[in-house]
Amino acid sequence: MTIIETSRETGATPEAPVDTLFIAVAQLNPTVGDVAGNLDLARRTCAGARDAGADLVVFPELFIAGYPPEDLVLKPAFQQACRAAIETLAAETADGPALLIGAPWVEEGKLYNSVLLLEKGGISAVRHKVDLPNYGVFDEKRVFTPGPLPGPIPFKGVRLGVPVCEDIWGSDVVECLAETGAELIIVPNGSPYRQSVYAERENVAVARVVESSLPLLYVNQVGGQDELVFDGASFALNPDRFLALQFPCFMERVRISRWQRFENGWKCLGANLADRIEGDQADYAACVVGLRDYVNKNRFPGVVLGLSGGIDSALCAAMAVDALGPERVHCIMLPYRYTSGESLSDAAAVAQTLGVRYDIMPIAAGVEGMEAALAPLFAGTQRDVTEENLQSRVRGALLMSVSNKFGAMVVTTGNKSEMSTGYATLYGDMNGGYNPIKDLYKTQVTRLSRLRNRWKPADALGPDGVVIPDSLIDKPPTAELRENQKDEDSLPPYAVLDAILERLVEREHSVAQIIADGFDAATVTRVERLLNVAEYKRRQAAPGVKVTGRNFGRDRRYPITNRFREG
């Protein structure tokens, strides 16, 4: 296929400038590696946009590949498949609308993160991402070559500046576009959700608008990809910083935006503003979307989880039902001699309210069988945490067996406080394919449980109203592995523990700084030690949704073998 243009305009006669543009904003949910599926989604979107009279359809970053493709994008066969999909799509644009779509693109042996303008049956322009992020969850310098500073793309006589995602987090790319005559900034994004991200994005976008005096259209993808969840929340700002367009969060939407040329430049008209959820509501919605897409994109028929009568498993069950519907969620209570009657009744109440299949599978035979097998080796020793952990490991083995037999994925239910301190059992309660609350501290789990009793996401499939009894939320947390056990027997109170952990993990504060904030020195030192020695467990934990500024795995990668200690 002939490429009409890559980074420079062709010698064709410029089109007469138009005064109105109808731009379809495609806030969609691509799947990494599903080139054919993403191509089909783009086709269907274009057909609808054509019927609605759109001139141009804008897709998120690397849409054809899915984002982030990680090292998959280094595979030549994958690069070729993406290129073939773009060429196929371009050939179908003869009757409009034109497309701005992201894809990995190879030129002269170099691989770029690119956006392409497809129109009139061909590829009329290619622009490459300049600023490749290499921090936190991003690792693009590992796989892509940075592009040169770009000039605008001519479209219908309008000069479009098309920086890609990170390109607007500094001033250079937009400044270059403005200086070379851009009239409208369109930004394809693959920007994942995290707490406080909306304010950060808005501040960046406003800064670029102020510096350039140009309107800006921010198009973000939506949906889950392993640990990351993309929230959408696409928007447009006019040159006076007026918010002219706001998409909903965590939902696929395609909307036609109307842009008009005035004497002082282009503006988006209409002020189509969706409500945007934030705070705990956004965290909850992110967990639901992450779990839903992990299950659906990996083609599991449903999920199974142990419902203990505690708050963590209850919240995970509610999230699973909101994500998948009650018919795809199977809850199992696995009681032993230390399981209280209150836990049995609380678990049953949650299952009944959520409308899920609920089974009780006692584990005494399994635990006692393992103890009998170990008795010759353990003769003469005292009972300790080893025997306690057998209960968790039997539960884990039984849940995995149900998963193997029927195909449902095991949801594991440990929170970030437990993951931080190692308060979890390898090959036991850590068993599972995915954890929706992995990046939520225990105090956040409590808040989100109360939240779910009065609110749920607009697209949630679970019931309205109270789904987690107040008695369950209010009772002291316990693993119930021995008589009268409470979490505070082993850990500081969660309000204290989580405050210390947030400083250690998210802020990287020193032990001395945290003590200076008023926390007990011995407690801080102990928590810091627990955090360090539990790294080997975290390496073996299931993936889970990232919601905080720094999650375990993609954001925070510490060595397992590590002798550094403070103090």
Residues with active-site annotation: 61, 129, 165
Establish how many alpha carbons lie within 13 A of residue 408's alpha carbon, considering only the half-sphere containing its beta carbon: 22
- Which residue, chain included where needed, has tokens 């770009």? 150
Q: Other CB atoms closer than 10 Å to residue 19's CB: what's the count?
A: 12
Cross-strand pairs, 265: 262
Residue 299: burial class (beta carbons within 10 Å; 0-12, 13-18, 19+): exposed
Closest residue by Cα to residue 114 from 94, 128, 100, 134? 128
Q: What's the burial of 207, exposed, middle or buried (CB within 10 Å: 0-12/13-18/19+)?
A: middle
Concatenate the DSSP letters of all residues of 273-338 into one string.
Answer: E-----HHHHHHHHHHHHHHHHHHHTT-S-EEEE--SSHHHHHHHHHHHHHH-GGGEEEEE---TT
Radius of gyration of the chain, Cα coordinates, nearest whole angstrom:
26
Q: Which residues pair with 100 in a beta bridge?
A: 58, 117
Asked if 122 contacts 89 with a C-beta cutoff of 8 angstroms, the reply is no
Report yes or no: 169 and 195 within 8 Å, Cβ to Cβ: no
Separation between Cα atoms, residue 256 and residue 189, nearest integer Å: 18
Q: Give, for 254, the enclosing helix (H) or strand (E).
A: strand 253-262
CB 396 within 8 A of CB 290: no
Is-cis flag, bond preceding 97, omega within 30? yes
CB 195 within 8 A of CB 549: yes
- Residue count of the chain: 567
Phi then psi dihedrals of residue 102, to 5 deg: -90, 145
Residue 247, both tokens: 């998409």
